[in-house]
Amino acid sequence: MNLGLVQMKDQERMDRLTAQCAVQPGLGKVYSQILLQSHTSAEFYLKDMFPSLVGKTFGKARRSFDQAVLCGVMDAGTGQAHLNPADSCVLTDQHRLVFLSSTAKIQPSKQAMSKISLERSASTAVATDAPAHESSEVRCKKHVVVIGWDVDQTVEGLLKGLGDFAPDDSSITIISPEKPGDFLEENGACHCRHLEGSIASRQVLLQAGVAEADAVILRMPLQSLAAADADAQVVSSLVHLQDLASHSNRAEPLHVVAPVNHPRTLELVNFVTKQSCSRAVTGQHVIGAVKAVTGDPQYASGDSGMSRGQDGSVALNVDVLLPDELLSGLLTQVSVQPELLSVMNDLFDAEGVEIYLRDPSRYSISQDQASPVSFADVAEAARARKETALGYLLQDGTVLTAPHADHKQALKAGDQIIAFANYA
């Protein structure tokens, strides 16, 4: 029996994913859609090399598929996966192909990607072979507050993840009754501080700057507490945060990342916040509600999982993460195709390719709803930046992964493109 090992410490990798979600709101739902299988979501597939593609470049090969995204290659000899390779990479019979697709029936098509606009193809022909360059986009520093910590667990994974993904000069504040033993005040280009106190104290939360924070991570001790107790603390903290955010002068909802044990906790979150909305009207001020984002198919599209205040306001925007289900989904895909182990390790490796949410303007793509763009054109534009487009995260929370090459999407403000990239 040949057994593979997923080379990831569960908590360490979940802390890294939590850090990504704090910096990129909505990313948790993208990972959930990819790792938790449903009849509508895409997942990773590994295919043997097609004879017709041997000797072709990766750039030509990826244009040969209209119902799947060719996003990587694997060396059949070593089993090493390489996601987001260069378009100039020449394919051999020793390569296997890594796809993100909603169907296992993947075949090259002579007509695939043939409808890419000549203008787009011409404009990117040189750029896709140009040397890789890091983005020149301005990334504003962020203030992230971490509420709660289990003294028996390390803080290193989360802080290192925030240091990797947050913009330079960002600040991180951890609130817990005791200071973590491996706490460091400097973490890469981020500044860290610890605030000793109760996570339920309004004064402590205000002192930490929760009301003005860019993101809040609820880091409850899921392992040391009973599952129901840990989730109850998450719900209680969301109520506190909702109240603080609603009484602040925030122009945008407060982004919260909340790992929980049970999918049913989302229903409780929405119920509690709806009750708060109905009772919390004081004068002209209405407490907003929680917009909960989850990968559970029951809440997978549009505004489902969202409750609002009477003025339509949303005080919190919550990424609900289900660590056990995400890990289970990952292991399920690996159990069906054990060779995908290397792909998963690369995806969750600190040195590997990451999933990022990109504004369409990064790729010079119009956000004019009157001018829908094909996914084929989006794919070409992403490759001009040495990235691989995987789909869309729309402003209403809808996730579209591995759409058909001819699928046309009218992008508007708030819509984002999901992409593999080597840097933020």
Going by the DSSP 8-state scheme, the letter that residue 358 receives in this structure is: E
pLDDT at position 415 is: 95
pLDDT at position 287 is: 33
- For residue 414, give Cα distances in angstroms to 158, 176, 319, 407: 27, 34, 16, 19
Which pTM does this prediction carry? Answer: 0.82
Which one has a higher pLDDT value, 369 or 322? 322
pLDDT-based confidence at residue 131 (cuts at 50, 70, 90): very low
Q: How many residues appear in the chain?
A: 424
Which one has a higher pLDDT value, 70 or 297? 70
Across the strands, what pairs with 145?
A: 173, 216
**Contact at 8 Å (CB) between 143 and 400?**
no
DSSP E strands, 102-214 = 143-147, 171-176, 186-187, 190-196
3-state SS class at 290: strand
Mean pLDDT value across residues 177-205: 85
Which helix (DSSP H) or strand (DSSP E) does residue 344 occupy?
helix 341-348
257: which 2 tokens?
């990342």
pLDDT at position 293 is: 52
**Contact at 8 Å (CB) between 247 and 288?**
no
pLDDT in tens, 75-119: 999 999 999 999 999 999 999 999 999 999 999 986 654 444 444
**Contact at 8 Å (CB) between 358 and 419?**
yes
Cβ neighbour number for residue 76 with a 10 Å cutoff: 15
Which one has a higher pLDDT value, 149 or 99? 99
User: What gap in Å lies between CA 154 and CA 173, rounded to an integer?
Assistant: 16
The set of residues, in sequence order, having a beta carbon less than 8 Å from that of 16 and lying 6+ positions away, is 157, 158, 160, 161, 164, 348, 350
388: which 2 tokens?
């691989």
Sign of the four-CA dihedral 17, 20, 22, 28: negative
374: which 2 tokens?
């094909």
pLDDT in tens, 292-328: 454 444 443 333 334 344 344 557 888 888 888 888 8
User: What gap in Å lies between CA 31 and CA 155, rounded to an integer?
Assistant: 23
3-state SS class at 196: strand
pLDDT in tens, 207-265: 999 999 999 999 876 566 777 788 888 888 988 898 888 888 888 889 999 888 888 88
**Contact at 8 Å (CB) between 199 and 176?**
yes
| pLDDT value at 338 more than 80 | yes
pLDDT at position 22 is: 94
pLDDT at position 207 is: 94
User: What gap in Å lies between CA 186 and CA 407, rounded to an integer?
Assistant: 46
Going by the DSSP 8-state scheme, the letter that residue 208 receives in this structure is: T
Nearest to 142 by CA among 168, 161, 160, 174: 168
| pLDDT value at 150 more than 60 | yes
Give the 3-state secondary structure percentages of the chain, helix then strand then coil, rounded to 5.
30, 25, 45
Q: Rounded mean pLDDT of the chain?
A: 80
Above pLDDT 70, what percent of the chain? 78
192: which 2 tokens?
């860290």
Which one has a higher pLDDT value, 13 or 300? 13
3-state SS class at 424: coil
Chain centroid, CA 201 distance in Å: 30
Across the strands, what pairs with 43?
A: 101
Across the strands, what pairs with 190?
A: 187
Mean pLDDT value across residues 396-419: 93
Nearest to 410 by CA among 366, 363, 376: 366
Burial level of 267, CB count in 10 A (0-12/13-18/19+)? middle
Which one has a higher pLDDT value, 139 or 388? 388
